[in-house]
Amino acid sequence: MDLNEGSALGVFRCKLCELSSPYTFYGQKPPNTRAIVLLEECYGMKDPFSPDREKFLVLGSKCSLCSKTVCVGPDCSLFYTKRFCLPCVRDNIHQFPEQIQAELVKKKTIQKTSS
């Protein structure tokens, strides 16, 4: 009955926000997905919100600069050809295109006003 759930390889935990969840695959190839390839080594699981057992969900990966494990949430990391945790993005903000810079500024102000 529960074959679709696979067995967890371990628990993924984001080093920044501490979000955690068991993961069932690690790598660039989610199981049973044919043509889909991930462009980074990812921690992932079966998408828990989809009834379809083939659907996967990427939880996070390692920052290409500092190798910290981070989740894919927009408050922790971003992907721009590679995965960067937000602290690394901030450190190298000027190498990123303006769109991303603007986004980050916006995010900061939202965080400030909300907290």
| Residues contributing to the site for other proteins (CB under 8 A) | 1-2, 4-5, 17, 19-22, 33-40, 42, 45, 47-55, 57-59, 61, 65, 71-73, 78-84, 92, 94-100
- Provide the CB-side half-sphere exposure for 8 (13 A, CA): 7
Enter the tokens of residue 97. 């295109």
Reported residue count of the chain is: 115
The nearer residue to other proteins, 59 or 86, going by C-beta atoms, is: 59
The nearer residue to other proteins, 33 or 109, going by C-beta atoms, is: 33
The nearer residue to other proteins, 1 or 113, going by C-beta atoms, is: 1
Give the SS3 label for residue 18: coil
**CB 114 to other proteins: min, Å:** 13
**CB 66 to other proteins: min, Å:** 11
Enter the tokens of residue 23. 């993961």
- Residue 48 CB partners (closer than 8 Å, separation 6+): 57
